[in-house]
Amino acid sequence: MKTIKLQDKVLYQIFPRSFKDSTGNGNGDIKGITSKLDYLKDLGINGIWLCPIYETNFVDAGYDVLDYKQVWKQFGTLEDFKELTTEARKRGIDIIMDIVLNHVSNEHNWFKKACESVDNVEHNYFIWRKTLSENEKKAQSIFGGSAWEYVKSIDKYYFHLFAKEQVDLNWQDPSTIKAMVEVINFWYDLGVRGFRLDAIKHVAKDFDDIENIYFSWCKGSVDFLKDFTKQAFSGKDDAYTLGEASGINLEELLKYGSGKDKVSDNYFNFSWWWIGWSKETGRKGYDANWDFKEFALQQKPFQETKEVKPEMITNFLSNHDTARSISRWGDVNYFWEESAKTHALMLFALKGIPCIYYGEEIGLLNNRFKERNDFRDCDVFSGYIDLVDTEKKYTEEEFTKYNNINSRDAGRAIMQWNKSNNKGFNTTGKTWIKYNDSTFLNDNVQDQLNDKNSIFNFYKNIINLRKNDYAKVLIEGNSKIELQNDIIVITRTNEKSKLVALINMQNKEINFNLPEGKILISSYNQKPLNYKLRAFESVLIEIKEV
């Protein structure tokens, strides 16, 4: 039986390379994270999700794993990691590892041995074809181009759903599952208690159903995952899993998050992920006509279905695969602070576990790049080749503009600790990626810590409300989300309390009669008006029912 209360978590996602550099080489690292544990504890965090820290070539931000049991030298050593878990535990903070289940690097020893001989046991770890059927030839990589790559040494093709440097594992082979179970055991023994299971809906491949271009929940995937989780987590009652199944819907959440087909304790809720993406090219484009109403409509099934328990979903504004929420959906010119606070209130008012992407608590904005060579992401590079050079879908200028809005690199900005030349990331001035050139006077941790009205202290206060005085209703209470006169209204109730969050996601005033009650928190420093909500104004009100 599980010994943790997952619904009590407040998670914080760190993209390690961008967080804090302790050596001055331009790369954030594990020691840098350890040095900021007191800061995170003060914020109210009790779980840190680390994007991959494994040995890697960093073709796809560490999701191209060279060795599951080693730390990338740019990030430090296993000893550094042990210190991190020890110090985090002292502060009541879990470390959550990102477990890359679907693929490994094409330079991983498993794949090297697989390419040496078809008789090596590692050959069966991967998906091979001597010749490709007509259906198989149609399979496309998520990053563009064919999903098959030829290996001359054995005269076969291997399958890669993502970059060609990321070779898909063959989960039909029990040896593959056993090898991944050993990965879980290794990190559990080092003190890890949370495990994010990456890309779990893709682990099985059904080439007869080629219309399912991303191979989502193919036949066999649930059985493979049930076998894996049973072997990996049996007897680990203090461990928990967070499943990444992008686009998961209500039916899938209920089916795979509970009952006989459960394969993860919790799933990330991708309801808002797509808002503002191009309907044709996804995050490689931009839809300027995105509608704020989608924030309510997409969340409604998850919030109002009582079978969805708070521990089953994790809500987020941004993550390593997206740009930053304020840059996408806020107003970075006139209502930067109000936008950041409104987004925070919307996140924390929802049923489910909140997950903060590093820097959201200070209003960190997107990076802005001038040309294609400024970017670092393989997904962006392939987009320039496919959509600009080959298909002529966009001009160079258009595609750069859209990537500054929606790309993953835009969101992987250097964390801003103070006002120094590169925002306190390190003392040498080196950074692995261009750092944010925001000109807001208080766009850093140092300035915001001592400002009671800062974005940081707004986050700190709302986390405190969630963890203490209003824990029962904000964590366990019923949830309803609706639109009233262009205001998103989130209502949380239990037998004793009623809280109403009023969210204005637009940069204009909206006439709205505020209900009578106690204002718990507001995105504006001034007292709310009774008859309207100002641009990006949001409030959380405690209603005293008669």
Strand order in the sheet with 156-159: 128-129, 156-159, 148-151
Q: Read off the pLDDT band of 546 (50, 70, 90).
A: very low
- Region 402-429: mean pLDDT is 94
Does position 185 have pLDDT exceeding 50, yes or no? yes
Structure confidence at residue 545 (pLDDT): 73
The CATH code of domain 109-167 reads 3.90.400.10
What does 341-402 look like in DSSP terms, one character per residue? HHHHHHHHHSSSEEEEETTGGGTPPPP--SSGGG---HHHHHHIIIIIIIS--S-HHHHHHH
* Pair of tokens at residue 449: 């810590």
Q: For the chain, state the CA radius of gyration.
A: 23
Does position 213 have pLDDT exceeding 90, yes or no? no
* Pair of tokens at residue 219: 């036949």
- Residue boundaries of the structural domains of the chain: 7-102+174-455, 109-167, 478-542
- pLDDT one-digit tens code per residue, 282-324: 999 999 999 999 999 999 999 999 999 999 999 999 999 999 9
**Mean pLDDT (the chain, rounded):** 96
- pLDDT more than 90, % of the chain: 92
Q: Comparing 66-80, 163-177, 425-439, 448-462, which segment has the lowest mean pLDDT?
A: 425-439
The CATH code of domain 7-102+174-455 reads 3.20.20.80
- Region 339-355: mean pLDDT is 99
- Picking from 14, 39, 37, 19, the residue whose alpha carbon sits closest to that of residue 29 is 19
Q: Do 478-542 and 109-167 fall under one CATH topology?
A: no
- Region 509-535: mean pLDDT is 93
Structure confidence at residue 327 (pLDDT): 96
CATH class of 478-542: mainly beta
- pLDDT one-digit tens code per residue, 24-44: 999 999 999 999 999 999 999
For residue 498, what are the CA distances in angstroms to 245, 306, 486? Answer: 32, 17, 22
Structure confidence at residue 208 (pLDDT): 86
- pLDDT one-digit tens code per residue, 41-70: 999 999 999 999 999 999 999 999 999 999
Structure confidence at residue 434 (pLDDT): 86
- Picking from 74, 309, 314, 83, the residue whose alpha carbon sits closest to that of residue 194 is 314
- Region 86-101: mean pLDDT is 98
Structure confidence at residue 496 (pLDDT): 92
156-159 and 148-151: which strand pairing? antiparallel
- Region 385-396: mean pLDDT is 96
Q: Read off the pLDDT band of 438 (50, 70, 90).
A: low
CA 349 – CA 345 distance, rounded (Å):
6
- pLDDT one-digit tens code per residue, 466-482: 999 999 999 999 999 99
Which has the higher per-residue pLDDT, 196 or 333? 196
Give the N- to C-terminal CA distance of the chain in Å, as an integer: 41
Contact by Cβ (8 Å): 413, 18: yes
* Pair of tokens at residue 9: 């978590």
CA 200 – CA 215 distance, rounded (Å):
10
CA 362 – CA 383 distance, rounded (Å):
31
The catalytic residue positions are 198, 244
* Pair of tokens at residue 301: 């099934």
Does position 167 have pLDDT exceeding 50, yes or no? yes
- Picking from 138, 269, 126, 260, the residue whose alpha carbon sits closest to that of residue 203 is 126
* Pair of tokens at residue 521: 């928190």
Q: Read off the pLDDT band of 529 (50, 70, 90).
A: confident
